[in-house]
Amino acid sequence: MKKLVVAMMCAALVVPVALSAEGDRDKEVARVQAAGTVLDEIMAAPDKGIPEEVIGSAECIAVVPSLLKGGFVVGAAYGKGVATCRTTNGWSAPAFFVVEGGSLGFQIGGQAVDYVMLIMNEKGMRNLLASKFKLGADASAAAGPVGRHAEASTDWKMRAEVLTYSRARGLFAGVSLNGAVIKQDKDDTRDFYGRMVPFSTILTGQIAAPQGSEALLAAVRKYSGPAAAPNTGTSKMPPPPPPQPSTDQKNDESK
């Protein structure tokens, strides 16, 4: 009887923990879905989305659904987002991060803001893989161009390692996020993957995208083109040397 009571008590402790873990993962899945929805809605806006040439050139795409801003005199921002990068096998599994930043200024009240960050080159991607970096210091950032197509006169390809956008109250625009710190969200990573997985492992495609990833990855594939062909130009590797003839072939030729 005593053993039965002990077993029942252990079961009573285990079940709430399992349910709590499942509930935490549901929150991360919901964030991945929200990130995909934000990208879909921004790109669907006529003549107000991210230019096709720009998003098609991005090495990584990061979305922060409803970053919260607010304060009086001293403004602050905090939000959670997900990122994915191009790999030779497709877009990577989602990587969870937090963005924190502060800015002096006269701000009254608060508002929810969606952010999209495009990492445009290899240097910017290296900063992202480092799992913590500061925009404007470790990586140059600039407000991205807006519209269905980027104007030929714009220098968006040369301007920054990270192009940033925001949407608040229905208004979408390029915006600077200089001063914001981006780092891996280790707790949310554990909730989603069931264990801690380094940023670089996720974003370089070394782990398969688990169930719950498709909402974001489908939206990214829709607007950015095939991930297996990143826009890095043609390979600069020299062509392989021609195969050397075997000993038998040399003997035949000498005859």
Give the pLDDT confidence score for residue 109 in this predicted structure.
60
Report the alpha-carbon angle 168-171-176, nearest 5.
70
In a domain, 124, yes or no: yes
The H or E element that residue 31 is part of is: helix 2-44
Give the pLDDT confidence score for residue 255 in this predicted structure.
47
In a domain, 153, yes or no: yes
The mean pLDDT value of the chain amounts to: 77
Tally the C-alpha atoms within 13 A of residue 187's C-alpha that lie toward its C-beta. 5
Q: What is the C-alpha to C-alpha distance for residues 68 and 90, in angstroms, rounded to an integer?
A: 31
Domain housing 179 = 39-224
In a domain, 34, yes or no: no
In a domain, 251, yes or no: no
Q: Which residues contact 39 (CB under 8 A, 6 or more apart)?
A: 61, 63, 116, 216, 219, 220, 223
Phi-psi region of 231 (alpha: psi -120 to 50; beta: other; left: phi over 0): beta
Tens-of-pLDDT digits for all 255 residues of the chain?
Answer: 655 544 555 444 444 444 445 668 999 999 999 999 999 998 987 777 898 888 999 999 999 998 766 655 556 677 899 999 999 989 999 999 998 886 645 455 667 789 999 999 888 888 888 888 888 777 888 888 787 666 544 555 656 789 889 888 767 888 777 788 899 999 999 999 999 999 999 999 999 999 999 999 999 999 987 655 444 333 333 333 444 444 444 444 444
pLDDT tens per residue across span 228-239:
544 433 333 333
Instruction: Give residue 44's identity as a one-letter amino acid code.
Output: A
Give how many domains the chain has, as a whole number. 1
Q: What is the C-alpha to C-alpha distance for residues 236 and 182, in angstroms, rounded to an integer?
A: 32
Q: What is the C-alpha to C-alpha distance for residues 203 and 120, in angstroms, rounded to an integer?
A: 15
In a domain, 131, yes or no: yes
In a domain, 230, yes or no: no
In a domain, 137, yes or no: yes
Give the pLDDT confidence score for residue 101 in this predicted structure.
80
In a domain, 67, yes or no: yes
